[in-house]
């Protein structure tokens, strides 16, 4: 971890580079899951598709509500242990949403495998 004295600059630089690895993938997943409502593949039920849309909306909304704001505060004010702990704890919302989505879609794919 960066030294506390450099933390403010570190977070500001990290925020500036966050678009492609941190923001764009969840937005693309959301748009893809919405498209699957009309283009539903054989391996996913309507329930799985709507669950994916809901979970992707949850990921994008929670990113805006918690981590996005916390990262901005850390970039403005520097290291704050309470904010760092809140950032860690609120990331669980996204982690669980991605996990449930992966299990849901993964189970649909597995059911389509020609296992004898």
Task: Give the global pTM.
Answer: 0.79
- Tens of pLDDT, residue by residue over 42-52, are 777 888 889 99
- Tens of pLDDT, residue by residue over 66-89, are 988 999 999 999 999 999 999 999
Sign of the dihedral defined by the CA atoms of residues 48, 43, 95, 5, in that order: negative
pLDDT band at 108 (very low <50, low <70, confident <90, very high): confident
């Amino acid at each position: 971890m960066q030294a506390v004295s450099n933390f403010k600059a570190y977070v500001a630089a990290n925020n500036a580079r966050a678009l492609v690895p941190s923001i764009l993938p969840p937005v693309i997943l959301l748009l893809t899951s919405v498209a699957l409502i009309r283009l539903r593949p054989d391996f996913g039920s309507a329930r799985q598709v709507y669950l994916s849309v809901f979970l992707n909306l949850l990921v994008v909304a929670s990113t805006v509500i918690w981590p996005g704001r916390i990262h901005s505060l850390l970039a403005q004010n520097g290291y704050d242990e309470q904010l760092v702990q809140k950032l860690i704890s609120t990331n669980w919302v996204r982690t669980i949403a991605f996990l449930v989505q992966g299990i849901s879609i993964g189970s649909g794919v597995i059911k389509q495998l020609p296992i004898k």
